Structure 1
Amino acid sequence: MSLRLPFQGRWKLGRKNSLGGSSQLPKQDYEALRERCLMEGRLFEDDSFPASLSSVGSGPLLRKLPPGLQWRRPPELHSNPQFYSANAKRLDLCQGVVGDCWFLAALQALTLHQDILSRVVPLNQNFTEKYAGIFQFWFWHFGKWVPVVIDDRLPVNAAGQLVFVSSTDKHLFWGALLEKAYAKLSGSYEDLQHGQVSEALVDFTGGVTMTIKPAEAPGNLWDILTRATYSRTLIGCQTHSGERVLENGLVGGHAYTLTGIRKVTCKHGPEYLVKLRNPWGKVEWKGDWSDSSSMWELLSPKEKILLLRKSDDGEFWMTLRDFKAHFMLLVICKLIPGLLNQEVGRRWACTMQEGKWEKGSTAGGRMKSPRDTFWKNPQFLLCVWSPQEGRSFPMPCSVLVSLLQKPRHRHRNRKPHLAIGFYLFRLSKYYGDQRRLPPEFFWKNAPLSWPEAFLTEKEVSRELQLEPGTYLIVPCTSEAGRESEFLLRVFSRKHIFHEIGCSVSAVFSKEIVDQNEGQDEFFTKLFEKYPEINAVQLQKILNHMTWSSLGSTQPLFSLDACQGILALLDLNASGTVSIQEFRDLWKQLMLYQEVFHKHNSNQSGYLNRTQLRAAMRDAGIVLSDDVCLLMLIRYGGPNLQIDFVSFVHLMLRVENMEDAFQNLTQDGKGIYLQKPEWLMMTLYS
């Protein structure tokens, strides 16, 4: 487990305790190394991270290793090893002897978003075509995406079982290899023993991490989770300190992944549930709404069947109320800052500036007295504009400032961080293009924002509401003369940001493209008008949507098709869908649109038998050829081709049936249903 407790702030722009810069990683050209190995007929061996105890570490982790430790490649461990499988519906990973639950919780969250996963894990790698025992991964490292190259030798025990991360699908090895790459980036496997979920989340995305104390959470926490789960976010959480399994089944001082939320309708009223997963792949919550809880009997048979999976796989449901009582931290990593703040207008933009504190010149320390050396610190000019130009009374601008200090040692846990912070001043006049504002400025002007405490953290950040204008940001260490490099990031809707006296007059911001831009406003307006949507309203919504990937062949949803879709989504037999159910549908529709467009190569608006199987495989569904033919007969036209509307209906039905089977089966071969459950599942779906 070994979680390091973070400083609590409103917004956290992810901590990254990795190497002290990509320059400390060996420069390895993945393509050149692989081609050389193929030409020489040998498998790659990475001398910079060898298959030896030096890569494991030199501390307490060595005592956890099994006797007879060996290093083996996946083809030596399985007859049919696969790097990654898009067909695996559940990419569950299990923690090994390394105390890196924080890393595994973040990694499990990564698997819920294949587009983000594929940025970190190139999914076209394999153990067959041009296999040379070499693999590559990408991490966001101090403002840049950097590649990490490894060989595929993994530590195993005498029985050939992986000692560190493994997959529940024993033939999949992407998780174990990714952990090895992250260990190399961090210095060793030992250096993964302590950390926070937010560190790994940011290393996987370069995004913005919001940290919330559930016990002190705002009243709209459920709304925040709802927006987060349908957006491109990764969510983790941590229990209160301690390192033992509690009577309620939770593990103290442990990180979990939040994998879903659900508002269910009980006989006594609504209940708000969250679904969590233990990185161990076992040991679950034993309270209300756990796998064996009687609370499930309060739901309709269909809702119970599709939500409850009785399996000791580490995944479980609990109420939001219990979550707030038993979890210390909730960490939401989003690729754009606007989650709590519902400011509309221009897209978010980000600017990054690197700097350093040097003893004798720019390491001025904190503000202590009018005659101190604070003015010597690096100084950055920030000009902020309102995204809603032309208003008589400009609204304050949301600005997020993040200061990250560069690690000072090859091993992420070897050298402690400095205590850092930053000050913000308002500028009312132009002081010229000097290296630094003179000491007199700081004697006469009080800061608008200052550190409440200087923190020995990788990153400190603050969300600010600023009037349009010009400001000065001064990052510093708590004591003068302390040396380090840093990265300063600013997020806002519209700004210019640069270091005073820098050779470049201004560094313009980079726009952050959000694929879900405008969706939250759309959902809010829609459900203000219709809190619950029936089939007629669903038909109007779907037929007024613009299906951008489908080109000129825009689908037309019939009332019958919408009644069928609604029946699949309506778990509580109300005849309507809620905003949460519609958001779930929206995410699925976006995926179905992409795979349909990809395989509709002739732009006819239809898929044939071969194209249908390929499209379903890309969406994670594998059907036999016989079943696929039956689906074309049932959902397609006389020429055995299927249009997009029928494809949506088919995919939703198949996913429902797959979930029902997996939740009900005890042996993976069959299921038992009572007659009312059978009728509900087969007739109303």
Structure 2
Amino acid sequence: MISRAEGTRRQGRLHNLPATSLNPETTTEPSSWREILRRWCPGKGRMLSPSSAPMPERGWQTTGATGSLQKVKKFNSQDFRELRALCLSQGLLFEDATFPAHSSSIGARLLPQEELWQIQWKRPTELQRNPYLIMDGVSRFDIMQGEIGDCWMLAALGSLTLRKQFLENVLPKDQGFQDDYAGIFHFRFWQYGEWVDVVIDDRLPILNGRYLFVHPRTSNEFWPSLLEKAYAKLRGSYQNLNGGYLSDALVDLTGGVQVQFSLRDPPPDLKEILKAADRSQCLMGCSTPGQARRNIELKNGIVQGHAYTITGAVKIPYKNGWKHIIRIWNPWGHGEWKGPWSDNSHQWDRVEPKYREALLRNKDDGEFWMSYENFQEQFSWLYICNSTPTFLDFGDEHCSVWSLTSYTNLWSQGLPTRKSHYSSGAASTNPQYFFKVLDHDPNTYNVAISLMQKHAEGMQDEKNLKIGFFLSMENSRVLKQIFFRTRDVTSYLTLSPGTYSVLPAAAEEQEFQFLLRIFIRNQDHHESSYSLTSPRLPMDIPRENQDSSYKALFLKYAKQDSTIDALQLQQLLNEVILKDEMTSLGGRFSFDSCRSILALMDLNSNGRLTLQEFGSLWQRLTKYMDIFIREDRNHSGFLDAAELKNAIQAAGLASDGRLVRLLALRYGDAGGRLGFCDFLCCMLRLDTMSHAFQNLAKGGSQILMTAMEWLTLVMYT
């Protein structure tokens, strides 16, 4: 069964709006040496935006695919290999104390109390003489839904079996009943930006000699039952699988972006979206109207309040034209549509044999074909999911390249909500995120925005808040707002070139985390995705609307006197900046390098950074991070001498071949390459000294200063 989710399909074609310029502040004449230092870099001493500082309070930003299987989180801190090795060394079968063979793992309200006490927990080795995890590959036809109403999860799982690129992420191959069997298995699920490895024992609940929940069609194949148990553990109990959202399960099994389409008010190009989704290997599902958990089966074979898997969408020649038909699978493993295009319908008699033989499977296995028109009549919602929104690539012979930027942050109590008036005040206190659209085709979608609310660990069944976002162009008026009471709110759009801001919001005042993902279609497939999305704030945004999130980051690491010393700066840079894979490859920030960075920005010469000084540092840091990523053409995590020269030019600084060679010798490794930490130290010093000379020379080519002034300049900074 399924609890019907509200649809989030909205579309818009938005156009350019006038930009607003930043009014520069004036500087005063220097009255001391430190005042001269203030003039080295225009912006020191001002609260310029830290280029839309991408690290809001307790937040971070990533570019590229969300979540990595190289850094899988261990659920409940359980390590599968260590636990299995321990069991094998002791000759024991694993028993999971965190999800025990007890009624608490079932849930108190799922079954009558007398049935709960009758449940027996048995291992596959007790149920079958020769059990297997997988036999002859993984198929949707291996699944047969049990007593629990988790069709929403099984429909997503059925779709997963068709997409091997995702299946291998969820179902690791390093386990089974034949080799190193110790009664322990593990499965992976995507949760709010990271993959989570869930360990279980293989004791399954049996009631009156029958599987209580999902059971395999082949008696000695156990991957569906064990995977379902792992998902139940992730969500707290089997009871928490009894009714849910198909859209949530699709995302949990892929880490992808999902979009829901109302079949009562479908977009005009839905047929094309369906075909593009099938062609590009998307996961797809659908749901019927009606009350969940009642299992009402209509005379035509369709179950009300139920979730299904979409397993195909094609256009075939029929009579004198073409017919769009859709293939659908019921997680029950039986029960099919009895209308036109069903297994025995006469429509197939008029289909060419080569199409009929390729498409028709006349078997009571829960799978059937139906026309697009009947599909729209019988079903209420369509769900499509993929790692990128390739279902919007209809009209393309090949899937487009989509760039992705992700942000994780915290909504705090007291921040403006949807109820608040959207104003410059609201925009300055709520975290905002900016992205650029370089080009567009008015006939295709080029942006998808996904916002997900994060529930606390162990509280996945917690009630969803009503969440959404405001979309503006360069902090002008709101162009779009969308709010729904679902875990995940997604919108796809056609946007004209320009810079846009996304302001996440909630309809209720409650502290909780969120994940924001922005997908942008690349018009030039050779264009680096990093140039298309950016967490930086454009310099023509009014100051009152600048993102204040770097302040929260500063306060998180600052001392009680609201300053940061070199040790705290080292911790901040290593924990926040090196979250990005490209910036982390060149090594970590050393204490010495952080002392040098601090000295360059320390206007008060006290060995600490104030919030104002940190703001100037952050603005430069994000600028140089952009340049570093853009100039690192081969994504090695280093810049060679030629790339360093290009980076210096991109920063607007003067250099020649001799200077570049010296910088590579001074800041580079044995091969003359600079990682991001060394590159940042190099660019900060080069930038600072260049501006110092320009300001002190006052337009000339020479400067005059005393020996002590010179020593103060070169020895501290």
User: TM-score w.r.t. structure 1 length?
Assistant: 0.64
Look up the equivalent residue of 1:400 and give its one-letter code: A
Question: 1:304 Cα deviation (Å)?
Answer: 3.9
Look up the equivalent residue of 1:449 and give its one-letter code: K
| 2:101 aligned residue | 51
**What does the per-residue CA deviation read over 1:631-660, in whole Å, with 9 as the maximum and x for residues that have no partner?**
xxxxxxxxxxxxxxxxxxxxxxxxxxxxxx
| 1:70 aligned residue | 120
Alpha carbons 1:138, 1:147 under 8 Å: kept: yes
Mapping of residues 292-307 of structure 1, within 5 Å: 292-301=344-353, 303-307=355-359
Structure 1 residues 449 and 61: CA distance shift in structure 2, 3 A: same
Instruction: Pick the structure with greater CA Rg.
Output: 2
Residue in structure 1 matching 2:533, options 477, 487, 495:
495
2:450 aligned with 1:450, yes or no? no
Structure 1 residues 39 and 402: CA distance shift in structure 2, 3 A: same
| 2:253 aligned residue | 204
Question: 1:262 Cα deviation (Å)?
Answer: 3.8
Question: 1:299 Cα deviation (Å)?
Answer: 3.1
Question: 1:261 Cα deviation (Å)?
Answer: 3.0
Distance in 2 (alpha carbons) for counterparts of 1:306 and 1:448? 47
Question: 1:62 Cα deviation (Å)?
Answer: 4.6
Distance in 2 (alpha carbons) for counterparts of 1:105 and 1:50? 27
2:499 aligned with 1:459, yes or no? no
| 2:263 aligned residue | 214
Question: 1:471 Cα deviation (Å)?
Answer: 3.3
Alpha carbons 1:351, 1:507 under 8 Å: kept: no
Residue in structure 1 matching 2:376, options 324, 332, 345:
324
Question: 1:265 Cα deviation (Å)?
Answer: 3.6
Mapping of residues 401-420 of structure 1, within 5 Å: 401-408=449-456, 410-413=458-461, 415-420=462-467
Alpha carbons 1:10, 1:211 under 8 Å: kept: no
Question: 1:210 Cα deviation (Å)?
Answer: 2.1
Distance in 2 (alpha carbons) for counterparts of 1:366 and 1:307? 49
Structure 1 residues 346 and 302: CA distance shift in structure 2, 3 A: closer
Question: 1:73 Cα deviation (Å)?
Answer: 0.8
DSSP-derived class of the 2:392 partner: coil
Distance in 1 (alpha carbons) for counterparts of 2:268 and 2:135? 40
Distance in 2 (alpha carbons) for counterparts of 1:221 and 1:395? 14
Question: 1:507 Cα deviation (Å)?
Answer: 9.9
| 2:471 aligned residue | 424
Q: More displaced, 138-147 or 345-354?
A: 345-354
Alpha carbons 1:386, 1:395 under 8 Å: kept: no
Look up the equivalent residue of 1:475 and give its one-letter code: P
Structure 1 residues 338 and 508: CA distance shift in structure 2, 3 A: farther
Look up the equivalent residue of 2:519 and give its one-letter code: F
Look up the equivalent residue of 2:506 and give its one-letter code: T
**What does the per-residue CA deviation read over 1:449-497, in whole Å, with 9 as the maximum and x for residues that have no partner?**
223xx43221222224344443332222224x42111111111141112
Question: 1:367 Cα deviation (Å)?
Answer: 5.6
Structure 1 residues 346 and 220: CA distance shift in structure 2, 3 A: closer
Alpha carbons 1:497, 1:506 under 8 Å: kept: no
DSSP-derived class of the 2:146 partner: coil
Distance in 2 (alpha carbons) for counterparts of 1:307 and 1:394? 35
| 1:612 aligned residue | none
Structure 1 residues 75 and 396: CA distance shift in structure 2, 3 A: closer
2:329 aligned with 1:272, yes or no? no
Distance in 2 (alpha carbons) for counterparts of 1:122 and 1:333? 21
Structure 1 residues 427 and 2: CA distance shift in structure 2, 3 A: closer
Residue in structure 2 matching 1:348, options 402, 405, 410:
402
Question: 1:311 Cα deviation (Å)?
Answer: 2.3
| 2:604 aligned residue | none
**What does the per-residue CA deviation read over 1:568-614, in whole Å, with 9 as the maximum and x for residues that have no partner?**
xxxxxxxxxxxxxxxxxxxxxxxxxxxxxxxxxxxxxxxxxxxxxxx
Residue in structure 2 matching 1:143, options 186, 193, 212:
193
Look up the equivalent residue of 1:48 and give its one-letter code: T
Question: 1:31 Cα deviation (Å)?
Answer: 0.8
2:199 aligned with 1:171, yes or no? no
Question: 1:25 Cα deviation (Å)?
Answer: 4.1
Distance in 1 (alpha carbons) for counterparts of 2:302 and 2:480? 39
Question: 1:68 Cα deviation (Å)?
Answer: 3.0
DSSP-derived class of the 2:391 partner: coil
Give the fraction of aligned pairs with identical amino acids, expressed as a percent. 39
Structure 1 residues 228 and 266: CA distance shift in structure 2, 3 A: same
Distance in 2 (alpha carbons) for counterparts of 1:162 and 1:370? 54
DSSP-derived class of the 1:495 partner: coil
Residue in structure 2 matching 1:484, options 493, 512, 535:
512
Alpha carbons 2:6, 2:485 under 8 Å: kept: no
Distance in 2 (alpha carbons) for counterparts of 1:425 and 1:273? 39
Superposition CA RMSD, Å? 3.2
Alpha carbons 2:139, 2:162 under 8 Å: kept: no
Alpha carbons 2:6, 2:484 under 8 Å: kept: no
Distance in 1 (alpha carbons) for counterparts of 2:242 and 2:93? 30
Distance in 2 (alpha carbons) for counterparts of 1:510 and 1:395? 35
Look up the equivalent residue of 1:405 and give its one-letter code: Q
| 1:129 aligned residue | 179
DSSP-derived class of the 1:26 partner: helix
Structure 1 residues 396 and 467: CA distance shift in structure 2, 3 A: farther
| 1:162 aligned residue | 211
Look up the equivalent residue of 1:420 and give its one-letter code: I
Distance in 1 (alpha carbons) for counterparts of 2:355 and 2:422? 66
DSSP-derived class of the 2:299 partner: coil
Alpha carbons 1:91, 1:111 under 8 Å: kept: no
Structure 1 residues 134 and 67: CA distance shift in structure 2, 3 A: same
| 2:366 aligned residue | 314
Residue in structure 2 matching 1:235, options 276, 284, 308:
284
Residue in structure 1 matching 2:273, options 224, 233, 239:
224
Task: Indicate the structure whose relative CO is greater, using CA pairs within 8 Å and at least 6 residues apart.
Answer: 2
Alpha carbons 2:9, 2:262 under 8 Å: kept: no
Distance in 2 (alpha carbons) for counterparts of 1:158 and 1:508? 52
Alpha carbons 2:390, 2:400 under 8 Å: kept: no
Alpha carbons 2:75, 2:197 under 8 Å: kept: no
Structure 1 residues 509 and 91: CA distance shift in structure 2, 3 A: farther
Question: 1:296 Cα deviation (Å)?
Answer: 2.7
DSSP-derived class of the 2:480 partner: coil
DSSP-derived class of the 2:182 partner: coil
DSSP-derived class of the 2:77 partner: coil
Residue in structure 2 matching 1:256, options 291, 294, 308:
308
Look up the equivalent residue of 2:228 and give its one-letter code: E
**What does the per-residue CA deviation read over 1:317-357, in whole Å, with 9 as the maximum and x for residues that have no partner?**
11111111111011111221242256989831212111112
Distance in 2 (alpha carbons) for counterparts of 1:395 and 1:289? 32
Question: 1:143 Cα deviation (Å)?
Answer: 0.5
Question: 1:48 Cα deviation (Å)?
Answer: 0.3
| 1:181 aligned residue | 230
Look up the equivalent residue of 2:204 and give its one-letter code: L
DSSP-derived class of the 1:449 partner: strand
Question: 1:270 Cα deviation (Å)?
Answer: 3.5
2:403 aligned with 1:357, yes or no? no
Distance in 1 (alpha carbons) for counterparts of 2:581 and 2:258? 19
| 2:38 aligned residue | none
Look up the equivalent residue of 1:50 and give its one-letter code: P
User: TM-score w.r.t. structure 2 length?
Assistant: 0.61
Distance in 1 (alpha carbons) for counterparts of 2:442 and 2:371? 42
Distance in 2 (alpha carbons) for counterparts of 1:346 and 1:2? 33
Question: 1:89 Cα deviation (Å)?
Answer: 6.2
